[in-house]
Structure 1
Amino acid sequence: MGVRVGSLVSRIVGAAVLAFVLLVASTALAIWWTARQDSRPSSDAIVVLGSAQYNGVPSSIFEARLEHARKLFEAGVAPVIVTVGGKADGDEFTEAEAGRDYLAETGVPAEALLAVPEGVDTLESIRAVAAEFTEHGWASAVLVTDPWHAMRAERMADDAGLDAASSPTRQGPAVQTRTTQFKYILRETAAYLLYRATGESVAGAPGIG
C-alpha cells in the first residue's frame, strides 16, 4: 500500500513539475512571439513607457523608445504622444518630463505631447495612463517599449480598460546581443507569470518593473 501511495505521489509531483515547465516555456515563447510583432493601428495616442533618465537626459533604452514613438507620430499613427513615469528619490526630473522634453527638442509640437509623471513600475504607469485616457475621452493606444516587455505591458493595459496594441523598439541595449535578449526574456517570463498570479508588478531593471 505504501509503495502505491509513494508511486502516486511521485506521479503527481512529476505531473506538477512538467506542467510548470510547460507553462514557463509557453510563456517565454509567447513573449518572444509578441516581441516580433509590430502593431500600429490608428489610435488616440502613442504611449511611451518610461525608463531611466539622468538629470533630465533619457537613458539609451529610454531614448530608443522615444525615437520609435516619434517615428510613429510622424507616420500618423496617433495625434498625441504620452510619456509616462515618475522619479526615484533624489531625482529632479520624472521619466515622463524627461521624455516629453526630449521629444519637444526633436521637433514634436508641444500640443502633441502629454506627460504623465506617475508610476514607479509598469503597472502604476499603465494605471495612471488609463486615468488620463478616461479624462480625455480616449480609448485606444499604441504602446512603445522594449520587445520583451511588450506582452506584459499589453496585458496590463487591457486589464486597465485600454484598447492597446504594441509597437516595440528595434534598437537599443535590450536587443543588442542574443545573450541580452535571452536574459530579458527570462526576466519578463518571471514578471509576467507573477503578474498573472498576483495582479501585482515587480520592481527591477528598466523595462522590467
Structure 2
Amino acid sequence: MKNNYKRILILIASLFIISFVLIEGIILLEGREADAPQVDYVIVLGARLYGDVPSPALAERLKAAEDYLIENESTKVVVTGGQGTDETIPEAQAMRKYLVENGIDENRIIVEDRATSTYENMKYSKELIEEETDEPVTVLVITNEHHIFRAKFLAKRQGMEAYGLPAKIPPSILLQSYIREYFAVVKSLIFDH
C-alpha cells in the first residue's frame, strides 16, 4: 500500500516536471520570436500601475509599442487593461497617455479599460476592433517576453490572426514571471475559451 502511494507521488511529480519543462520551453521560444510584420492593429496588454504610473514591465511594453507605431504610421493600437484596486486610473488610460505624450496620434488609439485578465484583454479588444471593421484583421500583440505565447494563443482562440512582439522583462521580476506564467498557461489551456 505504501509503495502504491510512493509510485503515485513519483508519477505526479514526473508529470509535473515534464509539463513544466515543455511549457517553459515553448514560453521561452515564443518570447524570443520577434515577428513584427505590418498588421492592421496592435494590441498592447496592460500591466500594473503605481497609482497612475506604469510599472517597469508596462513601461517596457509601451516602449516596444511606441517604436513599432512610429515605424508603422497606418496601424491602429488597442491599449487594454482595467483598473486594479491600488491603481488610480485604468491601465489603458495610463497607456493612452504615455503613447500620446510620446508622439502617437490619439486618433490611432482605441482604449479598452474593462479587462482584468489576458483572456478578457483579447476578448474585449476583438469586440472593439469588430466595431471598427467587419473585415478579417491581423494583430500584433505586445507584451513582455514571458507572456507572448499565452497572449498569442488566446488571441487565436478569439479568431484573430495574431503575431507577437516581445518586450523586455525587468530583471527584478524575471524568475517570478516565468514561474507564474507556467501556471497561467495551464489555467488558460483548461479554462479560457
Q: Into which bin does the TM-score normalised by the smaller protein fall?
A: 0.7 to 0.9
Match of 2:178 in 1: 185
Q: For the Cα contact (< 8 Å) 1:141–1:164, is it kept in 2?
A: yes
Of the candidates 153, 167, 176, which is equivalent to residue 155 of structure 1?
Answer: 153
Q: Secondary structure of the equivalent of 2:167?
A: coil
Match of 2:18 in 1: 22
Structure 1 unpaired stretches of 5+: 201-209
Q: For the Cα contact (< 8 Å) 1:45–1:141, is it kept in 2?
A: yes
1:122 aligns with 2:118: yes
Provide TM-score, normalisation by structure 2: 0.87
Deviation at 1:160, TM superposition (A): 1.1
Of the candidates 29, 49, 54, which is equivalent to residue 53 of structure 1?
Answer: 49
Match of 2:143 in 1: 145
Deviation at 1:139, TM superposition (A): 2.1
Q: Structure 1 residues 64, 13: closer, same or farther in 2, change over 3 A?
A: closer
Q: Distance in 1 between matches of 2:117 and 2:48?
A: 11
Structure 2 unpaired stretches of 5+: none
Deviation at 1:25, TM superposition (A): 0.9
Q: Secondary structure of the equivalent of 1:167?
A: strand
Match of 1:176 in 2: 171
Q: Deviations over 1:152-208 (max 9, x none)?
A: 1111111111111110112xxx3426xx423211110111012112327xxxxxxxx
**Bigger Cα displacement from structure 2, 191-200 vs 101-110:** 191-200
Q: Deviations over 1:132-163 (max 9, x none)?
A: 12222252111111100111111111111111
Q: Secondary structure of the equivalent of 1:120?
A: coil
> Amino acid of the residue matched to residue 27 of structure 2?
I
Percent identity reads 22
> Amino acid of the residue matched to residue 123 of structure 1?
Y
The list of structure 1 runs, each at least 4 consecutive aligned residues, that deviate by more than 6 angstroms after superposition, is none
Of the candidates 82, 99, 110, which is equivalent to residue 78 of structure 2?
Answer: 82
Q: Structure 1 residues 68, 78: closer, same or farther in 2, change over 3 A?
A: farther
Structure of greater Rg: 1
Q: For the Cα contact (< 8 Å) 1:42–1:77, is it kept in 2?
A: no
Q: Structure 1 residues 185, 92: closer, same or farther in 2, change over 3 A?
A: closer
* Aligned residue pairs, count: 191
Match of 1:194 in 2: 187
> Amino acid of the residue matched to residue 46 of structure 1?
V
